[in-house]
Amino acid sequence: MLFAEWQPRLSAFIFKISKSKETIEEIVSDVFLKICISRENLENINNFKAYLFTACKNQAINALKKNLNELNHLKNIERKNFNNDFILPFEESI
């Protein structure tokens, strides 16, 4: 099976980019899912190894960007000074 063959090498490669063990499995699974979905196009790929590593690199970078955006959003929330006078109790806001 392709996944079992490539998973260890791709996982090590992704870890070098993301430094996150939590995202490795998700990224490898997502890449192989996309390959399964678009398997008709695989015959057009000349270098499958390069394709796999490029897809994993792109997924890892996208995950880093997403995490950065979430972190920036949280920082923005923390910096805002919310005035409690404008916040309704939960029951009143429904």
Note the pLDDT tens digit of each residue in 43-78: 889 999 999 999 999 999 999 999 888 888 888 887
Distance between CA 65 and CA 94 in Å, rounded?
Answer: 35
Residue listed under structure tokens 């000349």: 46
Residue with tokens 């998973």: 7
Q: Is pTM beyond 0.75 here? A: no
Spatial CB neighbours of 60, under 8 Å, sequence gap ≥ 6: 14, 17, 18, 23, 27
Structure tokens at 33: 């899912």
pLDDT band at 91 (very low <50, low <70, confident <90, very high): low
Task: Give the span between the Cα atoms of 44 and 39, in whole angstroms.
Answer: 10
